[in-house]
Amino acid sequence: MEVRRLGPVVGLGTYGTFDGDARLAREVVGAALDAGVRLFDSSPMYGGAEASLGAALEGRREGTVVATKIWTPSVEEGKRQYEAHRRWYERVEVEQVHNLVSWREHLRWLEREREEGHIDRIGVTHYAASAFDELERALATGRFDTVQVPLTPFERECERRILPLAEEQGIAVIIMEPFGGTGAPLLRRPPPGDALAGLRPLGIETWAQALLAWILADPRVDVVIPATSRPERAQENAAAGEARHLGPDERALVERLAGA
């Protein structure tokens, strides 16, 4: 798979998929690992997903990138969440402040952990363009190493506001909700198979892969993190990271097929 700053370009999200079901997590994470996925995104917001991810990575942790989050207004509770991360994963490659919650307060102690080598990168996330003013303020501090936002043919505000700032500051970019979020609204009515004929020479076989490749055609993006509860879909999605890059015409085709 193609590799950028955070490793292979297709990762795996964990929201609403395996929750506390460690057996299912082992199947989905195992299939993803076999297909070349290395970055796994989670959060204390995702029920038992963090613990299940820890169990699923047992014996296969080397070379992986755990990108999880601190999600609480309280520094004490944030430190407890982090201690749990250390128990499950030993160290955290990307520790993100979820949805900007108390980001100034969390930054101070997270920076100490980064200095001590327990965290490689500190990140920040938000799912809503209405929060981009605050996200810009956070990134402007120069203290974050990664940022996570949505990007689809229907949700492109980050192209105007966040990706240019990330590029200017050398901040790595993680793309959430590539199919429009839980329930995958963008996959509900896939275009007929022959509509994708123009993309087959690039190595794209399915509509899910076309949407992922559309995102990865932007060189400012480092990794996209589709979530799934099905091992075969984890492999289908990972294969998008092997495709050749879409040019402007192919990108426009995906936008038209999406109805954007």
Ligand X SMILES: NC(=O)c1ccc[n+]([C@@H]2O[C@H](COP(=O)([O-])OP(=O)(O)OC[C@H]3O[C@@H](n4cnc5c(N)ncnc54)[C@H](OP(=O)(O)O)[C@@H]3O)[C@@H](O)[C@H]2O)c1
Chain positions contacting ligand X, by CB under 6 A: 13-15, 17, 41, 98-99, 125-127, 148, 176-184, 187, 208, 225-230, 233, 236-237
Min. distance of Cβ 116 from ligand X in angstroms? Answer: 25
Minimum CB distance to ligand X smaller for 49 or for 246: 49
In angstroms, the CA 238 to CA 208 distance is 10
In angstroms, the CA 105 to CA 20 distance is 29
- Which residues have a Cβ under 8 Å from the Cβ of 105 and sit 6 or more positions away? 73, 75, 78
Minimum CB distance to ligand X smaller for 44 or for 181: 181
Closest chain position to ligand X (CB): 13
Min. distance of Cβ 199 from ligand X in angstroms? Answer: 15
Minimum CB distance to ligand X smaller for 26 or for 98: 98
Minimum CB distance to ligand X smaller for 13 or for 250: 13
Minimum CB distance to ligand X smaller for 117 or for 189: 189
Q: Which of 205, 178, 175, 211 is nearest to 193 (CA)?
A: 205
Minimum CB distance to ligand X smaller for 187 or for 247: 187
Min. distance of Cβ 174 from ligand X in angstroms? Answer: 8
Q: Are 163 and 173 in contact (CB under 8 A)?
A: yes
Q: Which of 5, 58, 69 is nearest to 33 (CA)?
A: 58
Q: Are 5 and 222 in contact (CB under 8 A)?
A: yes
Min. distance of Cβ 194 from ligand X in angstroms? Answer: 19
- Which residues have a Cβ under 8 Å from the Cβ of 6 and sit 6 or more positions away? 39, 65, 67, 94, 146, 172, 174, 222, 223
Three-class secondary structure of residue 4 per DSSP: strand
Min. distance of Cβ 233 from ligand X in angstroms? Answer: 4
Q: Are 125 and 46 in contact (CB under 8 A)?
A: no
Min. distance of Cβ 257 from ligand X in angstroms? Answer: 15
